Amino acid sequence: MSNRTLLLASALASVLALPAFAADYTFKVAHTNAAGEVQDKGLQKMKELLEAKTNGAATLEIYAGGQLGDEQQTVEGVMLGSLDMGMTSNAMLSNYVEAYKVFDLPFLFPSVTGLGDKIDANWDLMEGAANDAGFELVTVFSSGLRHLMTTKPVAKIEDLKGMKIRTMQNPVHVEAFRAYGANPTPMSYSELYGALQSGVVDGAEGAATGYEGMKFWEVAPDFAPVGWLNMTAPVTMKKDSFDALPENIRTALLEAGSEAAKWQRQYVVDQETPLIEGFKKHGVTITQPDPAPFIEASKPLYDSALTTDSQKALFKALTAN
């Protein structure tokens, strides 16, 4: 039975009975998204819930916007124990937790809340895969659906031919955009604004929340909502560090994470349409490419990307009716 199952079954009274005093446990958590983006909102909600569940004995200290490093440095900080907790894109974490490459597959999960429900229903598999790599999976937030932001309009898949498109530093993402006819250019998120501004890249894939939060519309005034990927944002700790915590703190962390994730995923859904419509006030050109050619070009990746037993097992569980 997983840590989560055991801990969530423990007596809630032991958590609520904690005395009120300044936080004994302050967990530093880092991420690269802008403060106020949907991922950051999830952490803020988790912080609120954690403080309530522990009567102030535990809290989160959130460092947004890459203050403590890029995504790779965030994962490595968690692995080394120099950072208490990290939230990154799944695309980065799947380089370390191989089963999570399932979530890098294009057009696999069209619904944010539907994907969240599948993750929650298969938590034992999710947590076990993280544990095998030395992590404790605390929660999984949504980064929303991923679209295209470019310096010239993309009205159809053919318009991507030869365009330099920034992708995350993830092999599946690189192969996907190569399949779409683009010239994929992996780079750190923190470098993207300058790369768009200077013409190093012609565009990028990303979520509507990031497009607004980082003001990418200033340097990439064309937006195409193709929904090529349903991106997750896992929050992890070093497993040994998590296991060393008192049981009531571990229980509170997992409960707060689970409840915050449900709230945050619905928040992402509620924000998507009005956010994209709001881009027009910035003078953004919004095109609507037919997703069918993108979906067709993505199909070979389903065979090439899933190579291990753990990946295939998680894929089967998540896609089962």
CATH number of 108's domain: 3.40.190.170
Phi, psi dihedral angles at 196 (to 5 degrees): -70, -40
In a domain, 18, yes or no: yes
In a domain, 314, yes or no: no
In a domain, 308, yes or no: no
222-238/135-150 β-pairing: antiparallel
In a domain, 312, yes or no: no
Model-level pTM?
Answer: 0.84
pLDDT at 3 over 80: no
> In the structure encoding, which two tokens stand for residue 276, read together?
């994209």
Averaged pLDDT, 205-229: 94
Averaged pLDDT, 276-285: 95
Number of separate domains in the chain: 1
Per-residue pLDDT tens for 70-122? 999 999 999 999 999 999 999 899 999 999 999 999 998 889 999 999 999 99
Q: Which range of residues forms the domain containing residue 245?
A: 3-303
Averaged pLDDT, 288-305: 94
pLDDT, residue 107, reads 94
Q: Is 69 left (phi over 0), alpha (psi -120 to 50) or beta?
A: left
The span from the CA of 88 to the CA of 221, in Å, is 26
Confidence of residue 22 (pLDDT cuts 50, 70, 90): low
Phi, psi dihedral angles at 164 (to 5 degrees): -80, 110
pLDDT at 8 over 80: no
In a domain, 295, yes or no: yes
pLDDT at 240 over 50: yes
pLDDT, residue 1, reads 57
Averaged pLDDT, 144-154: 96
In a domain, 319, yes or no: no
Share of the chain above pLDDT 70, in %: 93
pLDDT at 313 over 50: yes
